[in-house]
Structure 1
Amino acid sequence: MMKNNWLSTLGLAMRAGKIVTGDDTVMKAVRSGEAKLVLLASDAAANAQKKYRDKCSFYNVPLIEQGSRFELGSAIGKVERVVLAVTDAGFANRIAQCQVKPAEVEGN
């Protein structure tokens, strides 16, 4: 099943220690250039969406908004997670390649 391939890759990245979670930790990774990709749950609050769109845009970090907070959490073996950062370029590229719909699509 191709749709969930990115979730499997997320799990692999977590086991490899290449995922940071939590608002403060992810924001620090974005600012420091450590984050190669940020994943934001599609059901994140509007202010969180705006904050991460703005920061990721400013620091030129790719942002993907896909999956629910429950999908993101279960993919990495945790309870729900609204935001994750991938700190490894290889994993970030693999996850980005699995995406079907671009994050810029709005209003559906």
Structure 2
Amino acid sequence: CSHCSYQHLPSEDAVRRHVRQSNNHPACPVCYRNFCNHCSLYFASEMALENHFRDSRAHPRCAECKVGFLGVPEFKDHVAILHTYQAQCELCRRKFKDALTLQQHYVQSPNHPVCVTCTIGF
């Protein structure tokens, strides 16, 4: 769920229940229209609202995963949860979530030497 960073909903019914019961979702419980209070628009489905968030210049959009958000607070939460990096390759400047992922990069990338004795990349 891009509005509240809920990661997995098992079915379409679960999505509908989640949207109706959550304060983060501006959906009408009677007509099920999904509202963008920022733009004063409404949409027939949650997917159409998410497309609006992604495509509208009035809403922040994640450059990494191409998801749009209602506002800056939701976008900042998304970045903090999914795009916080703890390690960086000094050679190619790529960022990684942790030291283990960086080490895997060293081993898998042909641009980095690997120790033949201990197989540690660097």
TM-score (normalised: structure 1) = 0.23
Of Structure 1 and Structure 2, which has the larger fraction of its residues in strand? 1
Structure showing greater radius of gyration is 2
Q: Answer 1 or 2: which has greater helix percent.
A: 1
